[in-house]
Amino acid sequence: MGPVRYRPDERRPVDTTDHDARRRRAHELVDRLQDRLLAHDMTGFAGLWAPDGTADFPFAPPGWPRPRGREEIRAYVAGYNELVLPREIVHQTRHETGDPDTLVLEWGVAGTVTATGAPYRLDYVVVITCGAEGVVSYRDYWSPSAVERALGGPMEPAAFGGAAQGSPA
């Protein structure tokens, strides 16, 4: 067994080798999510979710979808590139938490609005928990008003599931 560390709230040893491996796994999964996003590979993006992983959007308007499971995530992001094409991550800060599987990500993404060709830039705060099978929980604290300004109009709850289902004109 590798180095042992004690948590203040517990009297049992914690294997820091496992802790460090889980922390690395979380960072590597975020790297892969961002790579898929910038490659416009939303099928690959959704494929990084655990089979029962979730996506929540606490600041989203009422009625916004809360996809559960890899297949619902895949359906949810299917129309993403019909709305926007991310081009670069303009800033990023990752905050580690007491849970080695959970990171808080502050980041900004710049790209192009697909329908108009106009540039956009949005900032996000995401709390992401990773497990052995992929993303377990993805809580995205995005701003609905910032998204509407970037896209030039109101978004419908089904917007990411396909541009024909509610993207701005």
Domains for the chain: give ranges and CATH numbers.
Answer: 12-151 (3.10.450.50)
- Cα–Cα distance between 140 and 56 in angstroms, integer? 6
Residue 167 has pLDDT above 50, yes or no: no
Q: Average of pLDDT values for 68-85?
A: 94
pTM tops 0.85, yes or no: no
Share of the chain above pLDDT 90, in %: 66
Angle at 140 between CA 148 and CA 75, to 5 degrees: 80
